[in-house]
Amino acid sequence: MATRVEVADEQAGARERERPQKPSRDERQPRPNPLREGLRLERMAEPCTMVICGATGDLAERKLAPALYNCLLSGSLPPEFTVVGFARRDLSDEAFRAHLLEGINKFSRNRPAKPAIWDSFARGIEYHRGDFDDPAAYVELATRLDRIDRDRGTAGNRLFYLAVPPALYPEIVNHLDRAGLAAAGQRRRRGTKRGWTRVIVEKPFGSDLESARTLNHELAEVFDEEQVYRIDHYLGKETVQNLAVFRFGNGLFEPIWNRRYIDSVQITVAETVGVEGRGEFYDATGALRDVVQGHALQLMAIFAMDPPVEFHAEDLRDEKLKVLRAVKPMSPAEVATNTVRGQYVSGWVEGAKLVSYRDEPEVEPDSQTETFVALKLGIDSWRWAGVPFYLRTGKGLPSRVTEIAVQFKQAPLALFARAGVPQIDPNVLAIRVQPDEGILLRFGAKVPGQGMQIRTVNMDFRYGSSFAVDSPDAYETLLLDAMVGDASLFTRDDEVERAWEILDPILEAWQAGQGGPLHFYGAGTWGPPAADELLERDGRAWRRP
């Protein structure tokens, strides 16, 4: 009698023989552009099934379940939409539904779940128990998805979300391929009735250039690049999306968005927390890999890019890539001059004691991993030549804040100096990504009364107060984008590799002891004094958000 695995291998082989070969890049047809009918208009996803690999983990509970529920509330999901959780734990459909409901009731911006809406949503939620290294589990998954297509009318459209460690990506995608679950997008291009297939992968996208190239190659062996959606939740935040409208939709700002008027740019991604029980992961990663490689460089690229030909995903990502390509990688000597790495020691943050990083569980007692990094980058392009971009990120800092601060060049002072005003602060435009999403403009104004006194004042725009609606969570935006096939806010393979080309020399210099010492800073401060000195050498100072 054939074993279960032998039967699975035979069924998978049949699917492999039936599956058409992957077309070349020249054969691919351009995807429809959902933005041509307007800038990010409200849309409804096509009927589809979302398969969450690693469905019993924190990500599914804290982010994915609340995001899907809120998409349903907003009318963005069709009645046929179905969720299949795929994980190792032995759960029933009912137990898995209870797990997602708990996440919605704890973490959704619209909580608790409304019973009638939840009951409707829950009817389209199933659980598939299986080991990720078991070929039979994928064959059984394929059978389940075919049945869902027939019973719920999901038309063969499938979105696979890999909510698992990146080390498991190659194994999972190869098993999906052997089970015939990765080829639906290719069938559709060849004129069959089968729907689309897409896969979402979470960061980190590699740990250096070599590993990123390997991961991209392994994904490309199974999926076309247009099927792969590399998710960075920062790019789904409302303010990041609004950057394009702010710049290209306002005649006031685009003409001055260049080296003639901008003195410098600061990008801050600050966290108040420590490693939060992820000591083993963080000690092997560090702040440069964890935040700068994705969040900070992506924010810089979106901020600095030239206008795209149109709001099409490939045009937007082409412009971001041009920015990253214009960033010159550093020599070891430049790393020592233009970067600062730090590690927090015990201190108080928001009234709570934070232990030293080296005292965190699963962290080496002599760890050299950075929890803070500040660096100075230059973009060698016509628009930005000579404008320094200062990036910093850290854990255990006084405030949880992400912002882009633009300092404009100083106004000529001769007129005001003769009037007895010795100095005027430069204008600053602060684009707040979180927590209070909005835009602040700081400029000088005369103080009422006799004489000439100038004081800095603020004009402050906030999404919450201006529009009186809650901004959607980043995962709501990004999941819906993946379902409608809009990759504008996702990272392309060449962007990922170029980011590592910028950062690899920094990591190598640090590891070789050529990039300067590891500095220590107290939790609850804005990093080591060396980070302040990085800007003071240029006659500038960090903005305190």
Q: What is the pLDDT along the chain (545 residues), one digit of tens a residue?
A: 444 444 444 444 544 444 444 444 344 434 444 333 333 445 789 999 999 999 999 999 999 999 999 999 999 999 999 999 999 999 999 999 999 999 999 999 988 999 999 999 999 999 999 999 999 999 999 999 999 999 999 999 999 999 998 899 999 999 999 999 997 444 444 444 568 999 999 988 999 999 999 999 999 999 999 999 999 888 887 777 788 888 888 888 889 999 999 999 999 999 999 998 889 989 999 999 999 998 999 999 999 999 998 878 899 999 999 999 999 899 999 999 999 999 999 999 999 999 999 999 999 999 999 999 999 999 999 999 999 999 999 999 999 999 999 999 987 765 566 555 666 778 899 999 888 888 898 877 777 776 666 777 778 888 767 766 677 888 999 999 999 999 999 999 999 999 999 999 999 999 999 999 999 999 999 999 999 999 999 999 999 88
At 351, the amino acid letter reads: G
Clarify whether 217 is annotated catalytic: no
Query: Which one, of 428, 420, 425, lies nearest residue 453 by Cα?
Result: 420
Which of these is catalytic: 128, 175, 233, 295? 295
Domain ranges of the chain: 4-202, 236-536
pLDDT at residue 226, rounded to an integer: 94
Per-residue pLDDT reduced to its tens digit, 88-111: 999 999 999 999 999 999 999 988
Amino acid identity of residue 78, one-letter, is P
Please identify which residue in the block is written with the tokens 């379940």.
Answer: 65
CB 387 within 8 Å of CB 262: yes
Task: Output the pLDDT for position 422.
Answer: 63
Domain 4-202: give its CATH code.
Answer: 3.40.50.720
Do 236 and 478 form a contact (C-beta atoms < 8 A)? Answer: yes
The amino acid sitting at 12 is A
pLDDT of residue 42: 57
Tell me how far apart the alpha carbons of residues 134 and 8 are, in angstroms, rounded to a whole number. 9
What is the structure's pLDDT at 12?
47
Q: What does residue 410 show for φ and ψ, rounded to 5 degrees?
A: -65, 140
* Residue found under tokens 């529009």: 467
3-state helix, strand, coil in the chain (%, to 5): 40, 20, 40
406 with 262: CB under 8 angstroms?
A: yes
Per-residue pLDDT tens digits for 273-330: 999 888 998 999 999 999 999 899 999 999 999 999 887 889 999 999 999 999 989 9
β-bridge mates for residue 443, sequence order: 457
Residue 150's SS3 state is: helix
- Can you identify the CATH homologous superfamily of domain 236-536? Dihydrodipicolinate Reductase; domain 2 (3.30.360.10)
* The pLDDT of residue 286: 95
Check if the beta carbon of residue 541 is closer than 8 Å to that of residue 535. yes
**Chain centre to alpha carbon of residue 210:** 21
